[in-house]
Amino acid sequence: MSSLHTTSVRRRRLGVAAAAAGLFATLLAAGPAVATPDPGDRQAKEKISSSQAAEVKSAIQNGEIPGVDEIVHSPNISHLANVPKDLIKGTNSDLAFQGKYAFTGNYDGFRIFDISNPKAPKTVAQVLCPGSQNDVSVSGDLLFLSTDSSRSDNSCNSTSQSATEKSSWEGMKIFDISDKRNPKYVAAVETACGSHTHTLVPERKDVYIYVSSYSPSVSFPDCQPPHDGISVIKVPRKSPEKAAVVNFPVLFPEGGNPGAPTNPGVSATTGCHDITVLPSKDLAAGACMGDGILFDIKDPEHPKVIDQVQDNVNFAFWHSATFNQDANKVVFTDELGGGGAATCNAEIGPNRGADGIYDIVGKGDKRKLVFRSYYKIPRYQADTENCVAHNGSLIPVKGRDIMVQSWYQGGVSVWDFTNSSKPKEIAYFERGPISAETMVGGGTWSAYYYNGHIYSNDMVKGFDVLRLDDRLTDPAKRVRMSELNVQTQPDYFDRSGH
């Protein structure tokens, strides 16, 4: 049994801020110039009804949900540190790790922390380089940054420019981080429809990058439909300035999920949102809007799809994927409402805006993804809190499948899916709503486990460090990694020597 106790904050069935049609509206038609569906720089405040606001205030007063900005957590979680934004003021995004450093993405650039003392992270560098998402990964002396908004050029001094302009640029940027205090911008590669996210497939001499992007338009010269694949970039480690696109494999030759009206409420597949690779098994899992896929990456330049699944009842937008350590399960997330809506409530229910747990059955090219269950945080959130399944990572415990995951304003959840059909939460951390009167986008974008601690990048509140003490997860504290990009999933035990 875990040491999770029932929170003293009682929960009730709070209402929903938007009708279903409104939730899905955020998923439609916006091209790479606005970088959907993640909320990103879309931080406009939205009024809710007076009755909804009154319900939120009443729930706070009655102790049914945390107060505005109040921190609550399970007894097995300790909040060690919070570092607010500093020079870089944009929306915080993804995380990567190397040695004693954490690299935090931000829509205005990236920040490097020294986390050798997790209780007191120290800023090492802040790099201003605006571009939506700024999904970040590291490999050796190289840092990779995704740009998914049309810019006037590929420099860090660029300005926004319409995707209808042929001269507009979006794609991958590459930095030399051999000197962590002075990162140097060394290369850029333009990719079709930009780079919403990216995934590294590191080889000895070269790094391959799978670039996920979507939402083409006939009016976008550099993002034409159909866009049924991913860009593959090859980066020579010793000559990163020679990085170039080497392939655009079509993953959906038949077009993928058509979306509405065939499948109402489901995003049509026009590319992928995120890909996770498991190099030790030559496998990858793709979360591709209306589809989830499993593919073989033995030849990293030419990935081959093994299986493709859809969930046209409960999944609106396949957002990300996580393998378990044995590579016989995949957790897919559904980002219902694009991360900007209140979907963690009774009206939406436990099966939408949730995780879908799939077993991988069979062998070789005959492997199939078989659905087992859904997982969603068990705490209802307010109508003013954007909440839905988002980025997470495995917690490396031999013999168990446990992960930590961000849920925007739903906070951080640690949950066990060793039994694919009966997942359960074992720890949590969250803040109360940013506002009790207005929908204000915020919450944790990514929550990852690295070398004994959980690190969370909150879009608004900054960089959080958590300590998890639970007998189920304590064995993970002995596992040490020299580098971690969560979408390039390691073999924790073989590669770490444990």
Read off the pLDDT of each residue in 175-204 and give the average, rounded to a whole number. Answer: 97
- Residue 250 is given by DSSP the state B
Domains of the chain: 20-496 (2.130.10.10)
Concatenate the DSSP letters of all residues of 149-169 into one string.
S-BSSSSTT--B--TTSTT-B
pLDDT at 164: 97
pLDDT at 364: 95
Read off the pLDDT of each residue in 383-388 and give the average, rounded to a whole number. Answer: 96
CA dihedral (214, 487, 430, 125) positive or negative? negative
Read off the pLDDT of each residue in 273-277 and give the average, rounded to a whole number. Answer: 98
Higher-scoring residue by pLDDT: 27, 205: 205
Read off the pLDDT of each residue in 413-436 and give the average, rounded to a whole number. Answer: 97
Read off the pLDDT of each residue in 283-311 and give the average, rounded to a whole number. Answer: 97
pLDDT at 137: 98
Q: How far apart are CA 174 and CA 184, in angstroms?
A: 9
Whether the predicted pLDDT of 336 surpasses 50: yes
Q: How far apart are CA 197 and CA 149, in angstroms?
A: 12
Residue 38's pLDDT band, with cuts at 50, 70 and 90, is: low
Cβ pair 336, 352 in contact under 8 A: yes
Whether the predicted pLDDT of 418 surpasses 70: yes
Whether the predicted pLDDT of 432 surpasses 70: yes
pLDDT at 46: 66
pLDDT at 64: 83
Residue 56's pLDDT band, with cuts at 50, 70 and 90, is: confident
pLDDT at 45: 58
pLDDT, tens digit, 9 for 90 and up, residues 301-330 = 999 999 999 999 999 999 999 999 999 999
pLDDT at 494: 73
* Tokens encoding 25: 């509206």
Burial category of 332 from C-beta neighbours within 10 Å (exposed 0-12, middle 13-18, buried 19 and up): buried
Mean pLDDT, the chain, rounded, equals 91
Q: How far apart are CA 181 and CA 137, in angstroms?
A: 17
Residue 22's pLDDT band, with cuts at 50, 70 and 90, is: very low
Q: How far apart are CA 211 and CA 56, in angstroms?
A: 40
* Tokens encoding 406: 């961000």
pLDDT at 199: 98
